[in-house]
Amino acid sequence: MAGGLGTRMKSGTPKHLHPLLGRRMVDWVLASAEPLGAEPVVVVCSPQTEDAMRASLDGGVTLAVQAEARGTGDAVASARGALATFEGDVLVLSGDTPMLRAELLEDLVATHRREGAAATILAIEPDGPRPYGRIVRNDDGSVSGIVEELDATQEQRAIRELNSSIYVFRARDLWSAVERLDPQNAQGELYLTDTIGHLVRDGLRVAVHRAPDPTDAEGVNTRVELAATARVLRDRINEAHMLAGVAIVDPESTWIDPAVTLEPDAVVHPFTVLRGSTHVGAGAEVGPHAVVVDADVGERALVGPFCYVRPGTKLAAGAKAGTFVEIKNSQIGEGTKVPHLSYIGDAEIGAGTNVGAGTITANFPHQPGRAKGRTRIGRNVRIGIHDSLMAPVEIGDNAWIAAGSVITDDVPPDSLAGFPPRQQTKEGYLRGDDD
């Protein structure tokens, strides 16, 4: 269920689409259910979020639009068309519970089937108060229903067993109960929670599975809760990497997206952000104060401090992107060093090259309508300080570039080029050829 707009977020972005470590909130929920192999998967959204959802959801997900926000019961009813021929168990998840774990959902489904229940509620018992529905039980301990907080008596509000709004239903029993919902409550909505009372009155069994860690099933309704949830997810990701052999020097200042891969013996220094599909090889060191997005950092490579590695970048084994360096959409060869104060974009640099401080590749098109050019630098090139390489340009193997130069023309291998104010090229100079 991802139909609510989340007005308490005070945002123009619908609640379920807010980002959390590289995923939207709803994507975290879908990821938690993926290992269960559920099929079909239906996401209920609002008309306001339909386009954004449809543009980004995987092909295996069906979208159901809740035309009018009439409560959680109506949200589930909106999915009925997509599940018309389905006869198994329906797992109902809230799109604002990104801390869910697959293991918890597997245990919930197992309890439901072991108990032979028409419905099973995932319950939580947090330490402090929460504005959640209370699970009401009979004297014999069986479930009699769920009452929402706004409709609860003082005595019912003292109940600590809370409804997480996550359930498993037998499909036929779910639709039978949904058909009988009415809006006679404090919010004038169709509550999915009321289906539990209907099933109990039908003489059907309702089971409860309690989450060992209540945090796993807690929802996000405000930006304060969003930030707290991000910290929990960050800690889980960092812990998994450390247990797998990655050294994270200061986990509390390190933010790693879930799709990032790190090999054992990689080192991540404080205040580092690794985003997207970034890969960090064994023995590489990243940070401190580095941001790496959708890039490949090879074995024993060094990134930082104070470095920005942008999408499409590949640092080969032993390469270096140093202090105050930005690299975008470039391949940096094995052992090549870009030590400090440089911008390298849309470039290919061979192995063993050294790029002096203050060097930039100027690849923005100089004429309207032209595509960006690429800079190609060979192996074992020595580029002096404060050089500008005007793409498209190619510098051959073993060439040297004098400090303070603007390179506008290709430089053949083994040549010396530069010498402001206009480029001069001494071909074969480094082989000892005559001018």
CA distance 33 to 411: 56
Q: Which residues pair with 45 in a beta bridge?
A: 2, 65
Question: Can you give the three-state secondary structure of 127-165, one letter per residue?
Answer: CCCCCCCEEEECCCCCEEEEECHHHCCHHHHCCCCEEEE
- Rounded to the nearest 5°, which phi and psi values hold at 430? -80, -5
CA distance 431 to 344: 28
In which residue are the tokens 């970048």 written? 313
Q: Give exposure, 111-130, as e/b (b: 16+ Cβ within 10 Å).
A: bbeeeebbbbbbbbeeeeeb
Contact of 2 with 95, CB cutoff 8 Å: yes
**Closest C-alpha to 329, from 287, 366, 361:** 361
CA distance 19 to 27: 9
Q: What angle do CA 188, 100, 134 make, to 5 degrees?
A: 40
CA distance 90 to 109: 10
Max Cα-Cα span within the chain: 103
Active-site residue, selected from the candidate residues 198, 209, 340, 366: 340
Active site includes 340?
yes
**Closest C-alpha to 144, from 132, 156, 154:** 156
Q: Which residues are catalytic?
A: 340
